[in-house]
Each structure stands twice: as C-alpha cells, then as structure tokens.
Amino acid sequence: MAGKVLETDFVAGHIRAARERFVAAAEDRFDMGIMGALRHVPTLVFDSPLEVAFWLWWQVADGVDDLDEFACSSQREVSVGAKTYRVDFIVEPTDPAIVASPHWKPIAIELDGHAFHEKTREQVSYRNRRDRALQAAGWKVFHFSFAEFNGDPDGCVYEVLQFARKQYLAAYCDRVKAQG
C-alpha cells in the first residue's frame, strides 16, 4: 500500500515543492554564509583573483563539512632558518595540542597563475628554493596552477583537507593513547 501511495501525483507534487523549498533554503544559507565570510576579507590579504577564488571554495568546504578543526589564513610569513618566506595560505589545526604533535606537518598552499607568477626564471627559481626550504623544515607544500584549480576547485580544496584530516586523526589518536 505504501508504495502505491508514494507513486501518486499528489505525493509527487509535494516532493517537488518540498525539494524546491529545501534548495531555496540552502541557497539562502549559502548566500548568508558567504556574505558573512566576505566581511572578513578586509582583514585578509590576497595577491591575486586566484587566491580569492581558493578562499571562497575553502569557505564552501567549511560550510559543507564544518571545518572548525582547521584555520586557513592568507599571506603568512614563515621563517625557515635565517630566511622568511611568504606563502599564499597556511592550513593549521585550531587545537594547539594537535599542532604540537609529531604527526602534524605544517601545510602551505601556493596558487600559481601565470598572469601573476612565473613570469621570469628568477621567480621560478625563488619558488623552487622556497619549496625545498619549507619541505626540508617539515612542511607539506601544495601547489595548484590556475588551470588545475579552475578545472576542479572543490577537488583541490579536498586534496588539502584529506591530507590535513589524516594527520589530524593520527595526532588525535596519539593524544587519546597518551591520556590512557
């Protein structure tokens, strides 16, 4: 009986109307979330439209997956030895105990659009030296080109998140074991 009732035009019409209402409510929540996040843009620093786009997609991931365990900050200076480098984004846990874990490897994200980066050999050499220095200091560096990011922004963000979550879980499990 239930199957026949669900197949009626009456129920099908209500399913369509409920879906439309659900989608409209989700769109409203998305718009409000992005508008709220954009209020923070004046305190953020971006060097290119590609960086703004990455940040927006990070906000989408945060809204979908509730990423309270991670902070993503833009244009941060990182000291490695006597050198200081600026990276486009750093992703780090909000829990200081996770940051202190030997399982946590700092994460840098670089977005390289040819309109803003890699115009000269010197720029490419600098980028490569910086990456090697960061990696030697224990950092994980994610590089995304304009074409790669623009072709799959969600995939690029989730690649970083997958790496971060794997580390976070290992650090968290160690902390639980240590607490006995």
pLDDT tens, residue by residue, 59-95: 888 777 777 889 888 888 999 989 999 999 999 999 9
Q: What is the DSSP string of 60-101?
A: HHHHHH--TTEEEEEEEEEEETTEEEEEEEEEEES-HHHHTS
My answer on whether 27 and 111 are in the same domain is: no
Provide mean pLDDT across the span 117-123.
Answer: 71
My answer on whether 67 and 117 are in the same domain is: yes
Helix 49-65 / helix 153-179 crossing angle, nearest 10 deg? 50
For residue 117, CA distances in Å to 44, 127, 144, 146 come to: 20, 9, 12, 10
- Tell me the CA end-to-end span of the chain in Å, nearest whole number: 54
pLDDT band at residue 54, thresholds of 50, 70 and 90?
very high
Query: Is pLDDT above 70 for 119?
Result: no
My answer on whether 19 and 49 are in the same domain is: no
Provide mean pLDDT across the span 20-25.
Answer: 86
My answer on whether 103 and 20 are in the same domain is: no
In angstroms, the CA 116 to CA 50 distance is 9
My answer on whether 14 and 92 are in the same domain is: no
My answer on whether 157 and 77 are in the same domain is: yes
For residue 118, is it left (φ>0), alpha (ψ between -120 and 50) or beta?
left
Domain that holds residue 52: 44-179
Residue 172, pLDDT score: 87
Helix then strand then coil, % of the chain, to nearest 5? 60, 20, 20
My answer on whether 11 and 50 are in the same domain is: no
My answer on whether 17 and 79 are in the same domain is: no
Look up residue 22 and give its two tokens. Answer: 């659900």
pTM of the model: 0.77
My answer on whether 20 and 87 are in the same domain is: no
Query: Is pLDDT above 80 for 4?
Result: no
Identify the CATH number of the domain in which residue 62 sits: 3.40.960.10
pLDDT band at residue 115, thresholds of 50, 70 and 90?
low
My answer on whether 48 and 100 are in the same domain is: yes
pLDDT band at residue 151, thresholds of 50, 70 and 90?
very high
Number of structural domains the chain divides into = 2
My answer on whether 18 and 93 are in the same domain is: no
Query: Is pLDDT above 60 for 10?
Result: yes
The partner residues of 76 in beta bridges, in order of sequence, read: 87
How much is the mean pLDDT over the chain?
85
My answer on whether 139 and 64 are in the same domain is: yes
Alpha-carbon Rg for the chain, nearest whole angstrom, is: 21
